[in-house]
Structure 1
Amino acid sequence: MAVTLTPAPAAATAVTAARTMAGMKLAVLRHSMSGQKAGLVATGGTLGLVLAGGTLFAAFQSGDLLAAAYAVWMLGWILGPVFSGGGDETLRPEYFTLLGLPPRRLAVGLLVGAFVGVAPAISLLALTGLAVSGVRRGPAAVLVALPATLLQLAVFVLLSRVAVAALGIALRSRVGAIGTGLVNGVILAALGQGWVFVIALGQAGGITPEASAVLRYLPSGWGLAAVEAAGAGNWGRAGLVLGATAVLVALLLATWAALLTRRVGAARASARSRRPMTASTASGAVVAKELRAWSRDLVRTHQLTFSVAYGVFFAAAPLVLGIDAMLPWAGPIFIVMAAAMTAGLYAVDGTALWLTLTVPGAADVRGRQRAWLLVVGPVAAALALACTAVTGGPWPMVLALTAALLGGGAGIVPLMSVYALVPGTDPHRRGGNPLRVSEDDGALTGMAYAVLALVALTGAPAAVAVALYGWAGVAVGVATGVLCWWGFGLLAQRRLHARGPELLQTMRTGKRPAAGPGSRGNGGGFDELPKRERIIVGVCMTIAAIPLFPQGVVPALIKINDGGTRSWFLALHLPEVFQWPVIAMMILLGLGAYGTGAWIFYRHRRR
């Protein structure tokens, strides 16, 4: 009897691939939810639930507020992966290259896997605001809200994937790296200065009809537009909007499939000749090598451009309200952001650390410090001088903070890079996602936030000195910067020389080597904290910046400069007699949260 083998239908094969990838994603997540990753996921999930609750509250208020909230969620999905190493890539396209899957089938499978995780679940909760809006408009609107919610979530996820894939391709050219850095920096600064636009809308009488229409025309507002149309009995418009959303999902899926094909392809190396590097000293050789890396590594170009765009736009945003008090701080803000973006100074080099270890007495740390100052310093000085000249001051505070923060950044960045080393991916192994410079992007993101806070704190002595003694505080800022550069650099250099082999082992394997008998070792890390203490440390380190900077440092600077805005700064809404005590309390609360997290970690290491 003859047996005929018929191939499985393409649809069945696609469904099987999707189910398989979803199962793989669940298995990986189930076995990786431990250590620092579990703490970061718990912290991020808590913050996400708070934001989802705020979105549901907006759904009970008005459709315009809900549309604005969904626009913010869409921007979060697009920009979030930029600052977390390319987003969730538990399943990477490179893993399936040898299977010969068609691009569209691979994209469908990866898309199904992308819906498995904490972020999609929280976004789905926020999108239930469509159902709330439907309940307010009648049963017909509720029926439309269900498919609208699912389609809207698919749009968010696919926009995120397309943005990451397109950014990865753009980062293969210098023009693309600079362009994406500018766009991302401006958008994130706009989100950080959202209070400016809220006040501007309030002065304009709320969300204008024109802005309301624009929010509905954005892809984030299509689901709400369909629900509102169904509630008004306009079924033709509701069906048209749902159909357009489904078409957008299909187009985004096809675009992602095409980008995946380019991603897994081999990147062509530049054959342009370069001038040879020359140096007469060991430190000079490191400086030359680092400057060459800054000029060649497009990820560093993107990071530097992003920091410039963020600092300028963040400081200039209040000009919308006619307030120029923040403009002089563009330079200091740029320094702090540049330090945070380059927190993984040794991680981005991968296992190239062995080159340093084979040269006895190499002045690697000092050379990297000098190169960092040569790259960041001129830009910071130009921004500080130009923006302060526009407003006419405050010169002492700006000059003192610029000097102190430059030294603090040059000292803190290498110090954190060797004391809290996060294993990085070798540059030639970054694959199709150049943003993924580390296998543990959650830890690298946490270190970036820590560097941001620590560098900002190095400017505190200079700020206090200027507030008390005026121009004499500039000397304090210069002295603080020099001491931070020299002292923290010395500690980093000693650590690199004493524990270089262990650091290289960590870089190669992603795990800290076990301590031998009688050795202090590298134990007592965050991963070894009990689960309850990991959560406490993660929450403390995450929320500490809120009272310290937006509710403490920023209103203090506004009061020092006699700014007229109160915005969302709690202290400035209180009577004059209570403002400074509340500012001091907020600063102490932020420092206390940081101190609590650090004390728990230190106590565990000692134990």
Structure 2
Amino acid sequence: MAVVALTMARMKLAVLRHAFHGRRAHTAGTGAALGVLSALGTVYLAFVDPDLLAAGYAVWLLGWLLGPLFMGGGDETLRPEYFSLLGLPPRRLAAGLLAAAFVGVAPLVSLGALLGLLVAGVRLGVANALVAVPAMVLQLAVFVLLSKVSVAVVGLALRTRLGAIVSGLLNGAVLAALGQIWIFFWAFGQTGVPAAVWYLPSGWGLLAVRGRWWALAALAVLVLLLLAVWAALLTRRVGAARASARGRRPITAGTATGAVVAKELRTWSRDLVRNHQFTFALSYGLCFAASPLILGWDGMLPYAGPIFIVMAAAMAANLYGTDGTALWLTLMTPGASDVRGRQLAWLSVHAPVAIVLTVALTALTGGPWPLILALLPALLGGAAGLVPLISAYALVPGTDPHRRAGNPLRTSEDDGGLTGLAYLMLALVILTGAPAALAAVWYGWAGVATGALTGALCCWGFGLLAERRLRAHGPELLHVMRTGRKPHTTMKFRFDQLSKTQKTIASWCLGFGAIPLVPQGILAAVFVANDMLRHSWFLATYMPPGLRYPVAAAFILLGLAMYGAGVWIVKPRSPGSGPSRD
């Protein structure tokens, strides 16, 4: 078993040594830098308060559990299917893959965060410091194994419709709670950190360091149990048989566009990954808007529908890539308006839910009707236009649906590309609702007409651009999805031609522009408008009355400027105006 583990660890190291280059290396470097900052903050908690350190490790545990679920199934540099013909016993295969899982940036950063255990031990005594060393290793093993088990369980759940729906609801709720973590910090500030965080698996290492020696044994037992569970799940994954689809009524349509709509509606009802994404977006919108109820404030409930729309659009940002090489069907049927059909299908699936949710919760809270009714059509139209447009212009090669059996969460090999596409979609859809929101705030009900107009224009105009893109570059897009490589003879990678400085600036602008734009700008303005002052990290709520709206507006302009700068840096140039290499 030791030989297998060492061999797989060396294989993983060799792959990573040759894999991190270009954009992937830059993305990994940015993630590592943010991880190091988080780890340093966690270690600092060891000097401040043990309760806060226990809560910090609970957040790290949530990150290990949920991060891979939103990043395409986590790190699969070495997949179990690669070793299916070797005849390795399940536990030996699991042990080898576990050893390989410790090789990488994320485990190294997490180990740095777990240095807080050593700091806590040194402050208590020599014996406690000695216990901290095995506690760090076992705690990291628990993090990694719980991550692997959660991905495997969700992967199996996605093989059934009920499992896809339930996992989507749970994942959306947990991510929404993390997005509204300031509310829970406020609650902790009022009542203290709950004692339960000490008895979560993330707190057992700290308990052992503080003299509860049984916790160290509990960690070791938990590692063995999780290893056995993962081995069993790996057996299910490698040997799983693909279930045949149930018989359905034949698709009938009177027009080519109607056929596209019918095909898309059938896909939305049958594709378990899309079921998961839909329920995830719905759960996220509801839970994110309902979280402030903990503070006794229901002012965010009306925004559950708009949040659902924005998140659903982000989930569908790679619509054509998710379908894989099925694009050849569209290219061979030139009479069908594929884009318009997909837009109608997307609206048919999401608009009724968004309308019912928005109207019901707005009626429950009593408003604000003009703002909500202005945002609803603006965001629906903007999302319906941007989903095919972004997918056609920034397509990330995806895995064909019939090849997802090993890990249904993994719809693409480029997890970083999918994440960046989702963040870009979040920002752009929010921007499509900005004119209607401003008109509603300044002119009341006139904002509703503005929202309807901008939504219709975005849906029609962006859809027209997507259609032209498919007609002009359809064969190149199909080539990208088949090979994963863009043909340099017909398409130019602007990002790859940038200097390191330009890449860094563009990545930071596009990656973090949402922070000043949304929380510090838009949400802070909403809080100020509702007299919700002195809230967590929303700077505008701490300002004197005359500076609250200007500060929020300045953050909005900063966010827009960051996105504008990032887009300007990476946008294609004419052949004669390309950048010089540094």
Q: 1 CA distance for matches of 2:335 and 2:24?
A: 36
Aligned to 2:443: 469
Aligned to 1:436: 410
> 1:143 and 2:112 equivalent?
no
> 1:448 and 2:422 equivalent?
yes
Alpha-carbon distance, 1:604 to partner: 5.8
Runs of 4+ displaced beyond 3 Å: 561-565, 603-606
**Which amino acid in 2 is paired with 1:344?**
N
- Write out per-residue CA displacement over residues 288-314 of structure 1, whole angstroms, 9 at most, x where no aligned residue: 000000111000000000100100000
Q: Answer yes or no: is the 8 Å Cα contact 1:400–1:474 preserved in 2.
A: yes
Cα distance change of structure 1 residues 371 and 565 upon mapping to structure 2, 3 Å threshold: farther
Alpha-carbon distance, 1:157 to partner: 0.3
Alpha-carbon distance, 1:525 to partner: 3.5
Aligned to 1:577: 546
Aligned to 1:234: none
Q: Answer yes or no: is the 8 Å Cα contact 1:124–1:153 preserved in 2.
A: yes
**Which amino acid in 2 is paired with 1:58?**
L
Single out whichever of 367-376 and 270-279 deviates more from structure 2: 270-279
> 1:525 and 2:525 equivalent?
no
Aligned to 1:418: 392
Q: Answer yes or no: is the 8 Å Cα contact 1:307–1:334 preserved in 2.
A: yes
Q: Answer yes or no: is the 8 Å Cα contact 2:494–2:571 preserved in 1.
A: no
Q: Answer yes or no: is the 8 Å Cα contact 1:423–1:506 preserved in 2.
A: yes
Q: 2 CA distance for matches of 1:412 and 1:419?
A: 10
> 1:347 and 2:321 equivalent?
yes
Cα distance change of structure 1 residues 46 and 604 upon mapping to structure 2, 3 Å threshold: farther
Match of 2:263 among 271, 289, 295: 289
Q: 2 CA distance for matches of 1:28 and 1:409?
A: 38
Alpha-carbon distance, 1:564 to partner: 4.8
SS at match of 1:136: helix
Q: Answer yes or no: is the 8 Å Cα contact 1:541–1:594 preserved in 2.
A: yes
Single out whichever of 78-87 and 34-43 deviates more from structure 2: 34-43
Alpha-carbon distance, 1:603 to partner: 6.3
SS at match of 2:367: coil
Q: 2 CA distance for matches of 1:50 and 1:266?
A: 41
Q: 1 CA distance for matches of 2:155 and 2:279?
A: 16
Number of equivalences: 576
Match of 2:112 among 114, 118, 125: 125
> 1:567 and 2:533 equivalent?
no
Q: Answer yes or no: is the 8 Å Cα contact 2:528–2:548 preserved in 1.
A: no
Aligned to 2:18: 31
Aligned to 1:5: none
Alpha-carbon distance, 1:343 to partner: 0.8
**Which amino acid in 2 is paired with 1:29?**
L
Alpha-carbon distance, 1:61 to partner: 0.7
Q: 2 CA distance for matches of 1:603 and 1:280?
A: 41
Alpha-carbon distance, 1:526 to partner: 2.5
Q: Answer yes or no: is the 8 Å Cα contact 2:319–2:387 preserved in 1.
A: yes
Alpha-carbon distance, 1:384 to partner: 0.5
Cα distance change of structure 1 residues 371 and 396 upon mapping to structure 2, 3 Å threshold: same
Single out whichever of 32-41 and 57-66 deviates more from structure 2: 32-41
Aligned to 2:520: 551
Aligned to 2:378: 404
Q: 2 CA distance for matches of 1:135 and 1:592?
A: 47
Q: 1 CA distance for matches of 2:3 and 2:261?
A: 53
> 1:223 and 2:210 equivalent?
no
Alpha-carbon distance, 1:50 to partner: 1.7
Matches within 5 A, 1:587-606: 587-602=556-571
Alpha-carbon distance, 1:169 to partner: 0.2
For structure 1, list consecutive stretches of 5 or more residues without a partner in the other structure.
1-13, 230-236, 516-520
Matches within 5 A, 1:191-206: 191-204=178-191, 206=192
Cα distance change of structure 1 residues 565 and 283 upon mapping to structure 2, 3 Å threshold: farther
Q: 2 CA distance for matches of 1:528 and 1:431?
A: 37
Alpha-carbon distance, 1:35 to partner: 2.2
CA RMSD of aligned residues (A): 1.3
**Which amino acid in 2 is paired with 1:428?**
H
**Which amino acid in 2 is paired with 1:594?**
Y
Q: 2 CA distance for matches of 1:22 and 1:527?
A: 30
Q: 1 CA distance for matches of 2:368 and 2:207?
A: 48
Q: Answer yes or no: is the 8 Å Cα contact 1:349–1:424 preserved in 2.
A: yes
Matches within 5 A, 1:64-213: 64-204=51-191, 206-207=192-193, 211-212=194-195
**Which amino acid in 2 is paired with 1:264?**
V
- Write out per-residue CA displacement over residues 59-91 of structure 1, whole angstroms, 9 at most, x where no aligned residue: 111110000000000000000011100011111
> 1:393 and 2:370 equivalent?
no
**Which amino acid in 2 is paired with 1:422?**
V
Q: 2 CA distance for matches of 1:39 and 1:557?
A: 35
Q: Answer yes or no: is the 8 Å Cα contact 2:378–2:433 preserved in 1.
A: yes
Q: Answer yes or no: is the 8 Å Cα contact 2:324–2:399 preserved in 1.
A: yes
Aligned to 2:294: 320
Match of 2:432 among 441, 447, 458: 458
Single out whichever of 77-86 and 565-574 deviates more from structure 2: 565-574
Matches within 5 A, 1:360-375: 360-375=334-349
- Write out per-residue CA displacement over residues 113-157 of structure 1, whole angstroms, 9 at most, x where no aligned residue: 111111111101101011111122111111111100010000000
Q: 1 CA distance for matches of 2:285 and 2:222?
A: 34
Q: 2 CA distance for matches of 1:160 and 1:242?
A: 20
**Which amino acid in 2 is paired with 1:55?**
T
Q: 1 CA distance for matches of 2:223 and 2:441?
A: 55
Aligned to 1:8: none
Q: 1 CA distance for matches of 2:154 and 2:528?
A: 41
Alpha-carbon distance, 1:265 to partner: 1.6
Alpha-carbon distance, 1:21 to partner: 1.2
**Which amino acid in 2 is paired with 1:226?**
A
Cα distance change of structure 1 residues 76 and 488 upon mapping to structure 2, 3 Å threshold: same
Match of 2:41 among 44, 54, 65: 54
For structure 2, list consecutive stretches of 5 or more residues without a partner in the other structure.
none
Q: 2 CA distance for matches of 1:341 and 1:388?
A: 25
Aligned to 1:16: 3
Aligned to 1:384: 358
Q: 1 CA distance for matches of 2:307 and 2:333?
A: 37
SS at match of 2:413: coil
- Write out per-residue CA displacement over residues 210-241 of structure 1, whole angstroms, 9 at most, x where no aligned residue: x22x1111000000000011xxxxxxx31x21
Q: Answer yes or no: is the 8 Å Cα contact 1:181–1:306 preserved in 2.
A: yes
Q: 2 CA distance for matches of 1:527 and 1:265?
A: 40
Alpha-carbon distance, 1:271 to partner: 4.2
Q: 2 CA distance for matches of 1:454 and 1:602?
A: 16
Cα distance change of structure 1 residues 528 and 17 upon mapping to structure 2, 3 Å threshold: farther
